Each structure stands twice: as C-alpha cells, then as structure tokens.
A and B are shown apart, each in its own frame.
Chain A
C-alpha cells in the first residue's frame, strides 16, 4: 500500500500509545508501592471522563477546569477506598487485593451503567483544540496532537518525580523496606494512601483526555484495561520507565500491525506478552 497510510496508522498508534502509557504508568506506580493490581483502574478512568462530562454539563466548567479538578476529585475517592478497604488486606495474600479491586470495578461500572445506559454521551471538544493540521499524508486533528504531547509531558514529569526527587527516593525506599523507612520518621501509611490516590488521579486524567474523542460511556474502561495489564506485564510490573516506553512503543506496534496485518491487531500485544514472558519473565525493564 502507501507510505501515507503507514504514517497515518503510526500516528494513530502514538495516540493510542499515549493512553496506554498514562494508564500503565498509574498501574505501575500503584503496583510498585502497594503490590496490588488495581483492577478498578479502568473504572476510575471512566469516572474521570464522567466527572469531566458533569463539570461541563451541570456546572458549565470547561475542559481546562476538568483537567485540573477531575484528578483531584477521583483521586480523593481512591484515597478513601485505600484507607477503608485496601489497608485491612495488606497482611493477607496479595491476590485478595486484586479480587477486591475487581469487585469495586464491577460496582462502579454497574452503577454508571444503571444510571446512564451503555450508549455513549457526547462531550464537546474544547474550542481551542478543534480543527486539523494538514500534514500532507493525513489530516491530524489538533486535539489528538495535544493528547500525544500532554501525555508525554505528564509521563516524563512523573518519571522525574519518582526517580530524581527526594520524595521519589522515599517512595522507592518504602517499597523495599517499609519498616525501616517508617523508623526513620516517614509516615509510610500516609504515603501509601497518597500514592494510590496519585495513581488513580492519573487514570482519571487519562479519562478527561479521552472524553472529547471517545464517547463517554460506562464501558470505556473495561475494554482498555485488559490491554493495559498486558502492557504493564511486558514493561515490567513495577517499572516506571518500563510502562512509559512500553506504552508508547506498543501503541506504535499496534498501529503498524493495523497497516500490515489488520486481523492480528487485537492480539499482537498479547502475543508479544507471551513471547516476553518466555524469554524474560520479569518484563523488559523489570528487576527480579
């Protein structure tokens, strides 16, 4: 076929990759510190999109307000969940945490589906980002370009925060040896709660990014989250850099597959996951 089509699919792949990266970043942050797979991540992403929808349609607060307020609001609910429900489970087998967050995902998605049905609600694109860039080989909507750049910025910012700042150092230390870090006077339980809230906030932020281009619907998280799990496993379960690189990378790989062999585009990420697990079980960037 043509290089035009190829570049177009690659760009679409980068856009998808932005969502994969943002979501797997949140999951990696949560797994790294709490050792819990947050199955509710997809539902929290969906909640982010809905909160943005309400901010606009009930209170007239537009997209830019949503970007600031939504992660705080949904992150707060995440912190409440952690305090009330996840804390009692830390002394048990970690798989109970997975089952709990799975149950939470069902409750959240069911409640939204009950209220809004499963067809999508429209969220209008912010004025300043409508229109297209004519790149010659395709028209790239301005909004989608913004998504790529903003996600990159947030991912790199988070990586910097965790890997290069003192706060991040405390976090990484607490992952390795919570008792010792607590003995040094750092409030580890509070840090854990805030970390979970931060991860959830990242998911909600991705939801706000998604609202103008994908329909705001209760099911938007569940189809995406399974792919993101695969991305996280490939990247290495607790690795921040791994989730960013793998997220964008796999988005591009998926885009390429859509061009060369579209029938396999759904499964390619899972196939890669199986291969990586055979050769390097800890993931590309993981340590074990």
Chain B
C-alpha cells in the first residue's frame, strides 16, 4: 500500500511539471489544424483543398516577415463526432495546436465546438452549416464563416417560394445539419405562405434513395427540398432523374449545393438548380486571380466556398494574433470580432458578438450546357443579398453571449 501511495505522489508531481512546461512552447509557434473529411462524401468540397487554402493564407499574410512562426497540421475526422473530438483534444492537449479550421459535418463541428470551449482555444468553422454554432451553442472561442442553414433557407428557400414553389416535401439528412436546414427552410416556406406536405429522413451517406423519392412522388408536392449535402445531394438528384421525378412535374430544390457537386453531376443533370453561395471563383478580378492560383496548387480543381472560407478565416486569424501578439484563444477571438474583415474573396465584412461572420451572399442559377464556356463556368448571378440581410438577426439566435451584453 505504502509503495503505491509514493508512486502515485511521484506520478502526480511529474504530471504537473509536464503541464507547466507546455504553456511556454505554444507561444513561439502558431499551430493551425485543418480538420475535415478527407476520404468521404465531403472530401471534394474541403479535403486537402482546405489545407492548400490555409497554406496560401499563411504565405499571403507574410507571416515570416512579421516574425510569426506558423505551422499547419491536418487530419481526417471520418464524419464521426467521436473521432473529431478526440483529434481536437489530442491536438490541443499534446501537440500545441492553437486553432482549428474548416470541420464540415455539423455533428463533428458541434463536438469540436465543445472541446474548444473547454480548452479555451480557437475554432473557425468554414465547412459546417448548423446555425446552432452561433445560436444556442455559441461560444467565445468559435467563429462561423462562409454559410449556415439560416442563410441558405432565406436565400434559396425564399427565392423558390416567391416564384411559385409553394408546396414542399423535404428529403432530409438525418443529423444536426439536415435537421437545422429543414427547420430553417420550413420556417421560411411557412412565413411566405407556402405549405410543407411531408418529410422523410435518410441516414448520412445513403446510396439508394429510391424508396424516399417514391414517397416524395406520392406526396405530389411541387418542390422536393433536398436538405442534404455533398454525395447525398448528388445521389438524390441522379436517382430522381432515373425515376422520372422531374418528368412527372415536380422540381428539385438543392438547398446546399457546392460547385464541386455541380461538377460531379454535370450541367446536363444540374441545369436550372437554384443555389446560394457566398463565393464563386468567377465573381470579379480578385476572386479570379486567387482561384487560378488555387487551382494550380490543387490539381486543376477550382475552389468551393468552403475552401475560400478557410483562406479568409486563416488570414483574419493571423491578423488578430499579430495585433495582440498572443495566441491565447479567447483573446484572439475577441480581437477577431473587433477588427473588420477584408480579403480578396469575400470583400469587406465583420464578425458579430455571437461569432457569426457577416459578408454578402449571392443567389445563383446553374447554367444550361449551351451557356457554359468551359469547365467550372457553371453559375449565372440572379441576385446579391447584402451582408446585413443575409444572416439571421442577432436577436433571433438565442445565443447566451448576446443576452449577457
């Protein structure tokens, strides 16, 4: 017994000593972690492309000249919340990572949000959609870039209802993202005088949508809302055409569509889709120049708005770190909210107290094959939604940080 107690005491002492030593080291290197889906259904819209975007941001920020030593690590979260949270924990605890970027898949994002909050580091999300990240689950350590379900619902959803699509059937991906997107879009449909006649939930990464599409057909809704993303959206659209859904008089609404999805489907199947994105490579000269640089480093593949968001997020993060000369998580995020955002991809914007980044959103329609001049020339602009209208009003989110003000 005595021996065990001594061993315990010695072990405890060693552990505390080790803890103390850690804190100093992280101040000398700013370590950025890009955590996303590298092998699954979201690998194209983020994946290694996001790592490329992060590296470009570090280069463009001229970190070395400013005396900052910045490193990048990356990992695959396999779309599993337990894997994502374990990687985040390991990164923060024993590898000196100061900030995590990207993280598509809302379930994983919510888990990483909690770990970041506990460890008081930084989480700048660009890939996930759940508006809960700046709502009920908001945190002083988290910034949400690029898009969220409220923006998508009020962009795409409102536009479709206004043009006559007033009866809806939802095909929803059965996890945090799908539920949030369905909830926010349903609210918009009802607010604008439409009706929701049915819903069905499908597991993430479903291969066969035939029975769900049949239910959608039976509902006779004018619009079948696809509250899913990535590979699931592509499969739904492909199989919908196999079953003659559009021939039967119904229309598909892709509530979250990326340029990588359109590329995977081909314009023949994707034409006419209405979607809301916050970045398109062909928007203006600045985005075109950046995108060409990106494609050269990314095997010829053009950037999605998620990858653009990683670039802008890393840039703004480094600005904040340089401004306060520290990588203390909570302080850096506070500084990020103080500084206005300005980058060649999203233009001028700002970060609100709930962590929501405000920038313009754009309503696009997918071109017909005859209208496109080449690969990735896919969108025509329908409308611009200014930053202050594109995202959910501060008062409606239910974020505790707002009330505390």
Contacts and interface: CB of A to CB of B under 8 A. Distances in A.
Nearest to B248: A139
Contacts of B44: 119
Nearest to A5: B218
B243 A132 contact: yes
Given A1-B218, A132-B244, A262-B200, A120 B207 contact: yes
Contacts of A258: 211
A12 B211 contact: yes
B39 A138 contact: no
Interface string A213-229: 11101011001000000
Contact of B215 (A5, A122, A143, A215): A5
Given A5-B218, A118-B40, A139-B243, A215 B211 contact: no
Interface string B175-216: 000000000000000000000000010000101101100110
Given A16-B208, A122-B238, A214-B207, 9 more contacts: A1-B218, A12-B210, A15-B210, A119-B230, A120-B235, A139-B244, A213-B239, A215-B207, A258-B211
B28 to A, nearest CB: 36
Nearest to A139: B244
Interface residues of B, number: 27
Interface of B: 38-41, 43-44, 200, 205, 207-208, 210-211, 214-215, 217-218, 230-231, 235, 238-239, 242-244, 247-248, 264
Contacts of B217: 8, 138
Interface of A: 1-2, 4-5, 8-9, 12, 15-16, 113, 117-120, 122, 125, 132, 134, 138-139, 141, 143-144, 213-215, 217, 219-220, 223, 255, 258, 262
A12 B212 CA distance: 10
Contact of A119 (B41, B210, B218, B242): B41
Contacts of A117: 38-40, 43
Nearest to B41: A119
Contacts of A15: 210
Contacts of A16: 208
A141 B241 CA distance: 10
Contact of A9 (B211, B243, B244): B211
B7 to A, nearest CB: 39
Given A139-B243, A213-B208, A214-B207, A2 B39 contact: no
Given A113-B39, A220-B207, A12 B231 contact: no
Nearest to B215: A5
Given A118-B39, A119-B41, A215 B235 contact: yes
